[in-house]
């Protein structure tokens, strides 16, 4: 009988609770789990289910450095699966053709990400397919922003993560 070696999986980050929960779930299957994360104290680093932690550039501030780090690491070490946990998926979808042969990754096409990754594109998609969403104004200028007079409201950048780029305004002063 042929014995199979366990799958080797590289998680794209280890700071989120999503990553930590994923690690716990995957550990029950006997997989070998490693993580890349810029934070040496990330929560997943201390899981007994993680074999190795690799410190990498932060995807939010140095996406190209992060991408090069992961691609180089995937070339040096053998992995069966790259598992993007959060916004790294967007980056890997764009660079899918640069992943080493044999490394599997479950990702939508980059064009699909473009429809949902940004808040403006997502709001437009929701309108196109007639799904309900909160009242949304797409603002391009300060003058347009100053016409908003229903409070409270949320002002959001098109692209952001983890609550960054989102502000709650309860009056005109906070809005401005």
* 100 shares a domain with 16: yes
Distance CA 17, CA 44 (A): 8
* 77 shares a domain with 148: no
Q: How far is CA 22 from CA 35, 44, 83, 125, in A?
A: 11, 10, 10, 29
* 129 shares a domain with 51: no
Q: How far is CA 138 from CA 43, 144, 147, 160, in A?
A: 36, 9, 12, 16
Question: For the segment 121-155, what is each residue's pLDDT rounded down to a tens digit?
Answer: 999 999 999 999 999 999 999 999 999 999 999 99
* 84 shares a domain with 122: no
pLDDT of residue 46: 95
* 81 shares a domain with 25: yes
Domain containing residue 87: CATH number: 3.40.50.720
By the 8 A CB rule, do 23 and 9 touch? no
Residues linked to residue 153 through DSSP beta bridges, in sequence order: 169
Question: For the segment 54-107, what is each residue's pLDDT rounded down to a tens digit?
Answer: 999 999 899 999 999 999 999 999 999 999 998 899 999 999 999 999 999 999
* 127 shares a domain with 106: no
Total domain count for the chain?
2
Distance CA 94, CA 109 (A): 8
- Structural domain ending residue among the three candidates 112, 135, 156: 112
* Nearest one of 73, 69, 46 to 59, comparing CA atoms: 69
* 129 shares a domain with 74: no
Residue 1 lies in a domain: no
By the 8 A CB rule, do 105 and 99 touch? yes
* 131 shares a domain with 98: no
Distance CA 45, CA 64 (A): 23
Q: How far is CA 72 from CA 25, 54, 75, 150, in A?
A: 27, 12, 5, 50
Q: Is the pLDDT of residue 116 over 80?
A: yes
* 102 shares a domain with 136: no
Range of the domain at 153: 118-175
Residue 90 lies in a domain: yes
Lowest mean pLDDT among 71-75, 157-161, 167-171: 157-161
Residue with tokens 């603002």: 139
By the 8 A CB rule, do 83 and 65 touch? no
Gyration radius from the chain CA atoms: 20
Question: For the segment 1-53, what is each residue's pLDDT rounded down to a tens digit?
Answer: 455 789 999 999 999 999 999 999 999 999 999 999 999 999 999 999 999 99
Distance CA 14, CA 22 (A): 10
pLDDT of residue 23: 97
Distance CA 152, CA 170 (A): 4
pLDDT of residue 159: 83
């Amino acid at each position: 009988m042929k014995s199979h070696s366990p799958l080797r999986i590289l998680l794209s980050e280890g700071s989120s609770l999503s990553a930590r929960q994923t690690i716990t779930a995957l550990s029950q299957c006997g997989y070998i789990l490693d993580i890349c994360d810029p934070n040496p104290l990330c929560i997943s680093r201390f899981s007994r289910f993680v074999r190795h932690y690799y410190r990498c550039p932060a995807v939010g501030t140095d996406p190209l450095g992060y991408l090069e780090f992961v691609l180089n690491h995937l070339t040096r070490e053998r992995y069966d699966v790259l598992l993007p946990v959060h916004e790294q998926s967007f980056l890997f979808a764009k660079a899918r053709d640069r992943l080493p042969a044999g490394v599997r990754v479950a990702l939508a096409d980059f064009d699909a990400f473009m429809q949902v990754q940004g808040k403006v594109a997502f709001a437009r998609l929701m309108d196109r397919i007639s799904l309900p969403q909160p009242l949304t104004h797409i603002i391009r200028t300060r003058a347009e922003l100053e016409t908003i007079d229903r409070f409270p409201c949320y002002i959001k950048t098109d692209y952001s993560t983890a609550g960054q780029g989102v502000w709650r305004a309860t009056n005109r002063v906070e809005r401005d």
